[in-house]
């Protein structure tokens, strides 16, 4: 994520040891770890909510398409269309025994 190498991490640790001090460093490291965990948890929750919203949007689009198809079925009588397809299909399809 941040592309931090080993030597950069050692440098940050050394500077933080000098600035914060050896007694406060474990406490500060725990606090930083706690907040990084919270941030990670929050980002995971946001990703899941976005994924769920996208899934709901896909379902809504599918239902809209189904409604459009049902409206088309009301305009074109299905029985006459099936009869036309069956009439033309029965003449062209070979029969199997």
Q: What is the pLDDT of residues 13-39, one digit of tens each?
A: 899 888 988 899 899 989 999 999 999
In a domain, 48, yes or no: no
In a domain, 23, yes or no: no
User: What range defines the domain where residue 67 resides?
Assistant: 53-87
pLDDT tens-digit readout, 32-68? 999 999 999 999 999 999 999 999 999 999 999 988 8
In a domain, 71, yes or no: yes
pLDDT tens-digit readout, 61-77? 999 998 888 887 777 76
Q: Tell me, what's the pLDDT at 76?
A: 73
Residues 6+ apart with CB under 8 A from 67: none
In a domain, 93, yes or no: no
In the chain, the N- to C-terminal Cα span, in Å, equals 65
In a domain, 40, yes or no: no
Structural domains in the chain (count): 1
In a domain, 21, yes or no: no
């Amino acid at each position: 994520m941040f592309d931090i190498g080993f030597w950069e991490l050692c440098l940050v640790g050394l500077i933080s040891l000098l600035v914060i001090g050896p007694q406060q460093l474990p406490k500060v490291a725990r606090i930083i770890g706690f907040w990084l965990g919270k941030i990670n948890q929050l980002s995971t929750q946001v990703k899941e909510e976005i994924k769920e919203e996208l899934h709901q949007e896909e379902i809504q689009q599918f239902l809209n398409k189904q409604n459009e198809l049902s409206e088309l079925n009301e305009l074109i009588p299905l029985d006459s269309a099936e009869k036309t397809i069956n009439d033309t299909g029965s003449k062209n399809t070979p029969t199997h025994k």
